[in-house]
Amino acid sequence: MSEAFVHRPVLGREVVELLSPVPAGTVVDATVGGGGHAALILEARPDLRLLGIDRDDAALAAAARALERFGDRVHLVRAEFSAIASITTGALGAGATEGDAIVGVLFDLGVSSPQLDRAERGFSYWADAPLDMRMDARQELTAAEIVNTYTESELAGVIAEFGEERFARRVAAEIVRRRPLATTGDLVDAIKAAIPAPARRKGGHPARRTFQAIRMAVNRELPNLREGLEDSVHLLTPGGRVLVLAYHSLEDRIVKQRFADWSGTAPAPSGPRPLPVTAPVAEETPLVRLITRKPIRPTEAELGANPRASSVRLRAVERLA
């Protein structure tokens, strides 16, 4: 039931503070979820409107209820945020006014607590459920298809790249040996059998990295992030800000590098310059300034209330004129 889609917004106070200087206009919540961050933003700034995007219909239903009190200040769209440019054009229309200027874009990445807590979605390694893991139930690709049809080499690549699992080859080989796998419990059993006992006893649940990897592959999380993030900065009016909450190193690395590129703070490549040497090319004018030189992390008080926030990193940039 979508009524269960209620969760505490991570770093909510910090998100509101980072958006407090932006001019009046529209904030795009690219991962609106249950509307937690959106409600805080709209309460703090009566002069802001909100365009909420999510590909999970349960999340959108919950957001519609949570944000109903804000009336026509809210517009919700079911879509992937990789299409953020066309979504904003379609939602705001050709007759957009000054109040429709995009002054903020918020990405809260990864899987939400309500998605993890609903066993039938197949995201969790703590409950036995169908191998699904789709954020958008309309798409065809599921975890079952990846687990049961990818070659051993393809599986190992997914688990190593997206899960950073050092036993990726062993896990992939054990999955292939046990096929067909029908449930998350079957997958957990295969992972446990593949990982050596000493490694299983440290570093959290042994299935965590493999589940993360398969979920990210099912939902194209890193390609979507690259595409949506690249478009986001070009939607902003001067003084607008892009905020990203990332929950693991792969996401945060992409965000950190892109922000550095936009701001002109990326380190120059090392080593000798290639020959022949041509006339120097002028550096592009920076698109943004960095607001967070280092990522913002949750306080001890927040971690006490929400341990799942332990890995989050919040970064922000501001669009220059």
Among the candidates 219, 244, 262, a domain finishes at 219
Q: Which of 170, 188, 219 is the last residue of a domain?
A: 219
Q: Which CATH number covers residue 279? A: 3.40.50.150
Q: What is the pTM of this model?
A: 0.89
Q: Which residues pair with 319 in a beta bridge?
A: 288
pLDDT digits (tens, 9 = 90+) for 233-287: 999 999 999 999 999 899 999 999 999 999 998 776 655 555 554 444 444 689 9
Cβ-based neighbours of 240, under 8 Å, separated by 6 or more: 22, 23, 25, 101, 102, 103, 104, 105, 318, 319
153 and 201 fall within a common domain:
yes
User: Looking at the structure, do residues 8 and 73 belong to the same domain, yes or no?
Assistant: yes
Mean pLDDT (whole number) for 111-140: 84
CA 143, CA 173: separation in Å to the nearest integer? 17
Are residues 94 and 227 located together in one domain of the fold?
yes
pLDDT for 173 equals 98
* pLDDT value for 98: 53
Q: How distant is the alpha carbon of residue 20 from its chain centre?
A: 22
- Could you tell me the CATH number of the domain that includes residue 183? 1.10.150.170
Co-location of 97 and 133 in the same domain: no
Residue of higher predicted confidence among 117 and 225:
225
Among candidate residues 204, 219, 234, the one where a domain is terminated: 219
Question: Would you state the pLDDT for residue 279?
Answer: 46
Structural domain total, the chain: 2
pLDDT digits (tens, 9 = 90+) for 294-310: 999 999 999 999 888 89
The per-residue pLDDT for range 155-190, each reduced to its tens digit, is 999 999 999 999 999 999 999 999 999 999 999 999
Task: Please list the residues that pair with 77 across neighbouring strands.
Answer: 53
307 plus 226 within the same structural domain: yes
Q: Which residues contact 48 (CB under 8 A, 6 or more apart)?
A: 22, 24, 25, 26, 27, 41, 42, 73, 103, 104
Whether residues 130 and 91 share a domain: the answer is no
The range of the structural domain enclosing residue 157 comes to 119-219
> Are 214 and 225 members of one domain?
no
> 230 and 100 in one domain?
yes
Q: Are residues 186 and 125 in the same domain?
A: yes
For residues 180 and 147, membership in a common domain is answered with yes
Pull the structure tokens for residue 21: 């200087």
pLDDT of residue 4: 54
First to last CA, the chain: 45
pLDDT over 90 percentage in the chain:
77
Across the chain, mean pLDDT equals 90
My answer on whether 172 and 305 are in the same domain is no
Cα-Cα-Cα-Cα dihedral of 42, 46, 50, 56, to 10°?
Answer: 20
In single-letter form, the type of residue at position 287 comes to L
- The reply to whether 93 and 240 lie within a common domain is yes
